[in-house]
Amino acid sequence: MQPPASPGRQSAATHAAILRAFTALALERRYEAIRVGDIIRAANIGRSTFYEHFTGKDAVMLEATAPILLALATAASGRAARSYVRNMVAHLWDRRALIRPLLDSEAAGAIRRSLSEAILPHALRAGHAEGDAHIAATGAAAAQLAMLRCWLIGEAPSNIDAMTERMLACSRLVARKA
């Protein structure tokens, strides 16, 4: 007989189950068609349990995409290892059936805002004034996501190495001109 899971492990397992449920649903239907109730049923949890972990489906989606956004923000900082960014770009290509619909959904704005917020500290560190830093971060986020979207839908054919270079080139939008 196994001992019961500790509350911390149980909570982490529930959190992971919610993320898995969201990902499975995102593969089946458009983001707009996914409801919190669908995630709750797919994760086999109660509504209050869901809300102990997330504020809503946007929060789940943003956490599910956080590793991707971190890699993009790091690329925009000008400090990313090419291999790190390349692995993320390859991952996006492999998961394009999941990512394309997100970039074409009502979630796109939340993704852009989250990426912009992740890039903002890099723009401030580059010496931009507050307002200019926001413009630089928002511009870099929008550029990265627009290029990725066009590539993933086949509108702008490219390869993984060329897309990696484009993601890294967005660091010029964040760097401060002398």
Q: Selecting from 3.20.20, 2.40.160, 3.40.50, 1.10.10, what CATH number does the domain 7-53 have?
A: 1.10.10
pLDDT in tens, 43-57: 999 999 999 999 999
Supply the pLDDT for residue 177: 63
* DSSP 8-state assignment for residue 29: S
Q: How many helices (H) and strands (E) does the chain have?
A: 10, 0
Supply the pLDDT for residue 170: 96
With a pLDDT cut of 70, the percent of the chain lying above it is 94
- Point out the least confidently predicted range of 44-48, 95-99, 154-158: 95-99
Query: Residue 52 is encoded by which pair of tokens?
Result: 């102990």
**What does pTM read for this prediction?**
0.88
